[in-house]
């Protein structure tokens, strides 16, 4: 089975074309405030990967699984342009755009390029959610669409429900400790190599399974769980969330 985002490849290409034409249905792009879009040589926006999710490395015996990083990645380190110096080449930024750009524009970089990156993230989410909502949430949870939480909070708050649900989702990998939340979950766009295992204290297996057909599966993580491992399932979304 193809990676879930291959099914949305044509949609993402449409988004890229839309951004190149300077259009944004969310109405928050640089042009909405009279800002000039940067030249095509500006920084590329990383999009969802079309590759099959890489199974996580198997931890060595006795080694504690690595805790995954939580939340969106922070803006690039280094000197930032002062907020009062962030101005577009032409026109002005809206208050919402100005707030989004605060502490996000490296010195020497066109702020319109940073704004465009955030707006393209919103465009991708808007198209993905129309094609398949679970895939959109999964793309945020797996960070295939990076910095989605910041872009949504600052530029397209209508997608906040996607970010909220992704915060309670499990991407492929090993999850332990505070990352474990008891409850029911469903797999979002699993591959034919999807498998999972839930273990309790001392590594005792509580449940496990696979989905060799690529069909979605449902699992329950009990309060006694200490480790949840998923491979090839893309992401597990909380049951009961809007779907």
DSSP letters of 151-220? HHHHH-GGGHHHHHHHTT-EEEEEEEGGG---EEEEEES--TTEEEEEE-GGG-EEEEEEETT----EEE
Q: What is residue 106's three-state secondary structure? A: strand
Predicted pLDDT at 77? 57
Residue pointed to by tokens 């295939």: 144
Integer angstrom CA distances of residue 211 from 58, 169, 196, 206: 20, 18, 9, 18
Predicted confidence (pLDDT) at residue 23 exceeds the cutoff of 60: no
Which position has the higher pLDDT, 175 or 36? 175
Say if residue 21's pLDDT is above 80: no
Helix and strand element counts for the chain (H, E): 6, 6
- Which residue did the predictor score with more confidence, 174 or 40? 174
- Taking the C-alpha atoms of residue 122 and residue 186, their distance in angstroms, rounded to an integer, is 25
pLDDT (0 to 100) of residue 83: 67
Q: What's the rounded mean pLDDT across residues 4-14?
A: 43
- Tell which wins on pLDDT, 39 or 238: 238
pLDDT tens digits along 91-136: 788 888 888 888 888 887 888 888 999 999 999 999 999 999 999 9
Is 59:227 a contact under the CB 8 Å cutoff? Answer: no
pLDDT of residue 78: 63
Q: What is the pLDDT of residue 13?
A: 42
Residue 223 pLDDT > 80, yes or no? yes
% pLDDT > 90, the chain? 46
**Mind listing the pLDDT tens digit for each residue in 26-71?**
444 443 443 433 333 333 433 334 344 444 443 343 344 343 333 3
């Amino acid at each position: 089975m193809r990676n879930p985002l291959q099914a949305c490849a044509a949609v993402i290409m449409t988004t890229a074309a839309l951004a190149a034409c300077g259009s944004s249905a969310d109405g928050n792009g640089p042009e909405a405030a009279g800002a000039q879009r940067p030249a095509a040589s500006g920084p590329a926006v990383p999009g969802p990967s079309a590759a099959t999710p890489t199974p996580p490395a198997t931890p060595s015996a006795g080694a504690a699984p690595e805790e995954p990083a939580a939340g969106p990645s922070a803006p690039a380190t280094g000197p930032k342009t002062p907020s009062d110096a962030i101005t577009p080449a032409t026109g002005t930024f809206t208050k919402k755009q100005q707030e989004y750009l605060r502490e996000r524009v490296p010195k020497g970089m066109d702020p319109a390029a940073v704004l465009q990156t955030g707006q393209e993230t919103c465009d991708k989410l808007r198209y993905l959610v129309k094609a398949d909502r679970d895939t959109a949430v999964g793309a945020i949870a797996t960070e295939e669409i990076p910095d989605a939480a910041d872009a949504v909070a600052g530029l397209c708050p209508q997608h906040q429900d996607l970010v909220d649900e992704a915060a309670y989702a499990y991407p492929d990998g090993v999850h332990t400790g505070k990352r474990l939340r008891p409850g029911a979950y469903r797999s979002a766009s699993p591959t034919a190599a999807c498998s999972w295992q839930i273990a309790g204290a001392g590594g005792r297996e509580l449940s496990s399974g696979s989905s060799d057909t690529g069909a979605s599966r449902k699992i329950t993580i009990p309060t006694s769980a200490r480790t949840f491992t998923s491979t090839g399932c893309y992401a597990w979304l909380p049951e009961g969330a809007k779907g």
